[in-house]
């Protein structure tokens, strides 16, 4: 199997890209048999993603394996005044907020289609997503268990900043200054 990665700008997120991402979203988060799952996936590509794509620092990486879109990851520059940054400012300890929140790269999601999991695709997506970012810090929230997401991030330098921030999720941070200095 051959996987290629493409980094897309907002303008390159056209109908065909959206359709492919909706398929991956549905396979990863929904039940293809349920109409509400299809609506949810459609809402992601027609509302959430375009809204996020308008933000500064938007970066989307799409993986294609043997001509099929197999995964994606994206983020943007997180700033005070945006929902998640403001929410974090109230939910995380003050010292963490001061050091980490604002002008960070917000890794919103990184998803691999279940049909392509367990082959290291998430690492490829991750590395392309954070490569040469101008930000000093990156943030994301995911479950800190021993599952693939936590293993992916822990193995790539992310640290748990707040173990319980959003139900079962932890706040993870990545110091990008040590990378750019290398």
Number of Cβ atoms within 10 Å of the Cβ of 30: 17
115 binding ligand COA? (CB under 6 A)? no
50 binding ligand COA? (CB under 6 A)? no
Q: At closest approach, how far in Å is the CB of 173 from ligand COA?
A: 13
Size of the site for ligand COA (CB under 6 A): 20
- Element spanning 159, H or E: strand 159-166
CA dihedral 49, 159, 150, 47 (to 10 degrees): -10
28 binding ligand COA? (CB under 6 A)? yes
Identify which range of 6-14, 32-40, 92-100, 150-158 contacts ligand COA by CB under 6 A: 150-158
Residue with smaller CB distance to ligand COA, 77 or 142: 142
Name the nearest CA neighbour of 75 among 182, 174, 143, 177: 174
The residue from 32, 148, 178, 180 that contacts ligand COA (CB under 6 A) is: 148
147 binding ligand COA? (CB under 6 A)? yes
Transcribe 78-132 into DSSP letters.
E-BTBHHHHHHHHHS-HHHHHHHSSSEEEEEEEEE-GGGTTSSHHHHHHHHHHTT
Binding site for ligand COA (CB under 6 A): 28, 109-112, 117-123, 140, 142, 147-149, 151-152, 155
């Amino acid at each position: 199997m051959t996987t290629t990665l493409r980094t897309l700008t907002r303008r390159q997120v056209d109908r065909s890209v959206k359709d492919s991402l909706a398929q991956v979203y549905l396979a990863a988060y929904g039940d293809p048999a349920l109409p509400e799952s299809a609506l949810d996936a459609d809402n992601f590509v027609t509302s959430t993603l375009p809204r996020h794509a308008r933000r500064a620092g938007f970066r989307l990486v799409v993986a294609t394996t043997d001509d099929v879109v197999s995964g994606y990851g994206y983020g943007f520059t997180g700033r005070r005044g945006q929902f998640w940054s403001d929410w974090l400012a109230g939910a995380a300890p003050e010292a963490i907020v001061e050091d980490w929140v604002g002008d960070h790269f917000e890794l919103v999601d990184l998803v691999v289609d279940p049909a392509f999991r367990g082959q290291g695709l998430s690492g490829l997506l991750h590395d392309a997503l954070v490569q040469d970012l101008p930000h000093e810090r990156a943030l994301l929230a995911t479950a800190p268990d021993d599952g693939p997401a936590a293993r992916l991030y822990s193995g790539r330098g992310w640290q748990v900043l707040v173990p319980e921030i959003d139900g079962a999720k932890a706040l993870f941070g990545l110091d990008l200054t040590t990378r750019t200095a290398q």
